């Protein structure tokens, strides 16, 4: 008899096209997953996957059965939904996909309150383009999508959340700045800054302005990946851009980009008075000085890591460093995914700074970032850093206090970026009561002396 577990295994294998990745997704060993799929093929007397190809692909009959398996799994999940609907407390996972153009503005308005009201629900949020959201819904990778309508498909249940105006952002010297409303015909000869290809808001602007993408004299050779950058481009280069009303009325701007992007977004936040939560690492001393200057009139939370657990670890390190201030060598080991471009990580550097401060030292004076060749004996009082880059490691940090006859290790390991999102929302709630100032997560969590 075929089981629901076997259905889950073949759906996972079809999605990830790898036995090892499918097994990891299903939280089983690869031999277990392979054996169950092989048993299912034997019981049905069909071949579901062509194992000779890389990546693994379903056969023709396999694709049909997998499509039916998705339906069966979806229907079986409704049993639990019925039980949950009649329970006093909702529990389980809620997987949400949201388009990037509204995520930083919409999420802070409701997600924190929702999480507080439903503590039993584990919320998982992904920023995806509209086409990717629809694909993820088809493949049961998310439960809900938040995206702009109208959709090119009619087979989804659609519930409008709100309607908003589309606004023009232009330099005060632009002739459109004096208009309360603008006819689209008046924009066609203007230099229009657009979102990158694939973003639904870009498509809306093109449709509204009746622009022709294949025109030899196209007036929109200018593209960007974020609304904040578009605004900055208008400030510096002129022209106009269109922005959703929600972006103009945003209370918070959450930034996890790169230093150059953060500083561009900071300039926009200063102009609009939007409070910022910044988790970008790798900022230079001059850029950090820019944050401090802006904080005279703007409330900012700036932290290399927004995770509550990581910031609790900072406090533990401060206590440990004061207690183990003699006879212990300190080493900081961090590991991240292969795409991370700065090293050591901002979190590792912050750990070093916390320890150095607790010992009454300057980190620049005691830090050792590289060892190679004949280095001689370890210098007493130094703080060593070791960096690992590989795979998809979200973020691992270990601080080693090595003494004679014993060693103490304080570690934090991230398995998901969800903790960063939750910490960012906590920072946003903290900023609601702040008019200006530069804060970090120690302030947010009440750990500052």
Q: Which of 275, 336, 397, 412 is catalytic?
A: 336
Q: Is 97 exposed, middle or buried (0-12, 13-18, 19+ CB in 10 A)?
A: buried
Q: Which of 25, 126, 315, 340 is catalytic?
A: 340
- In DSSP terms, 395 is beta-bridged to 414
Query: How is 143-209 classified by DSSP, letter by letter?
Result: SEEE--SS-S-SSS---------EEEEE-TTSGGGG-SS--GGGGTTS-EEEEPTT-HHHHHHHHHH
Q: Is 340 a catalytic residue?
A: yes
CA distance 191 to 241: 8
Strands (E), 201-288: 223-224, 240-244, 252-255, 275-278
User: Cis link prior to 55 (omega < 30° from 0)?
Assistant: yes
CA distance 313 to 320: 10
CA distance 249 to 227: 13
Q: Is 350 a catalytic residue?
A: no
CA distance 19 to 25: 10
CB 442, CB 314: distance < 8 Å: yes
Active-site residues, by number, are: 336, 340
């Amino acid at each position: 008899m075929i089981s629901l577990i076997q259905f889950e295994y073949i759906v996972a294998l079809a999605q990830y096209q790898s036995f090892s990745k499918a097994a990891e997704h299903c939280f089983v060993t690869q031999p277990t997953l392979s054996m169950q799929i092989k048993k299912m093929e034997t019981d049905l007397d069909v071949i579901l996957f062509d194992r000779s190809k890389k990546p693994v692909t379903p056969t023709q009959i396999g694709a049909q059965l997998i499509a039916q398996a998705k339906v069966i799994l979806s229907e079986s999940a409704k049993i639990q939904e019925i039980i949950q609907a009649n329970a006093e407390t909702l529990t389980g996972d809620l997987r949400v996909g949201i388009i990037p153009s509204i995520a930083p503005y919409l999420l802070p308005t409701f997600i924190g309150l929702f999480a507080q009201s439903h503590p039993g629900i584990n919320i998982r949020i992904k920023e995806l383009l509209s086409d990717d959201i629809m694909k993820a819904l088809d493949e049961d990778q998310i439960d809900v999508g938040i995206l702009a309508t109208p959709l090119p498909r009619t087979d989804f249940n659609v519930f409008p959340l709100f309607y908003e105006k589309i606004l023009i952002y232009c330099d005060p010297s632009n002739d459109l700045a004096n208009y309360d409303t603008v006819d689209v015909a008046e924009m066609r000869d203007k230099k229009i800054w657009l979102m990158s290809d694939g973003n639904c808001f870009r498509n809306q602007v093109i449709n509204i302005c009746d622009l022709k993408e294949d025109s030899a004299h196209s007036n929109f050779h200018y593209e960007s990946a974020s609304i904040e950058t578009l605004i900055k481009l208008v400030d510096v280069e002129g022209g106009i851009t269109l922005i959703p009303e929600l972006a103009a009325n945003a209370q918070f701007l959450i930034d996890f980009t790169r230093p150059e992007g953060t500083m561009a977004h900071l300039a926009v936040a200063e102009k609009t008075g939007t409070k910022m939560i910044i988790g970008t690492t790798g900022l230079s001393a001059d850029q950090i000085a820019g944050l401090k200057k802006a904080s005279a009139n703007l409330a900012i939370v700036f932290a290399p890591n927004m995770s509550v657990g990581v910031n609790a670890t900072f406090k533990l390190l401060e206590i440990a460093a004061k207690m183990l201030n003699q006879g212990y060598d300190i080493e900081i080991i961090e590991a991240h995914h292969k795409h991370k471009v700065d090293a050591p990580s901002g979190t590792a550097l912050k750990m070093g700074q916390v320890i150095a401060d607790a010992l009454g030292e300057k980190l620049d004076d005691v830090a050792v970032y590289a060892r190679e060749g004949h280095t001689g004996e370890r210098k007493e009082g130094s703080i060593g850093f070791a960096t690992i880059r590989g795979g998809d490691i979200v973020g691992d940090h270990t601080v080693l206090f090595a003494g004679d006859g014993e060693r103490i290790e304080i570690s934090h390991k991230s398995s998901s970026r969800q903790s960063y999102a939750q910490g960012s929302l906590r920072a946003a709630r903290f900023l609601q009561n702040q008019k200006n100032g530069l804060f970090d997560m120690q302030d947010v969590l009440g750990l500052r002396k």
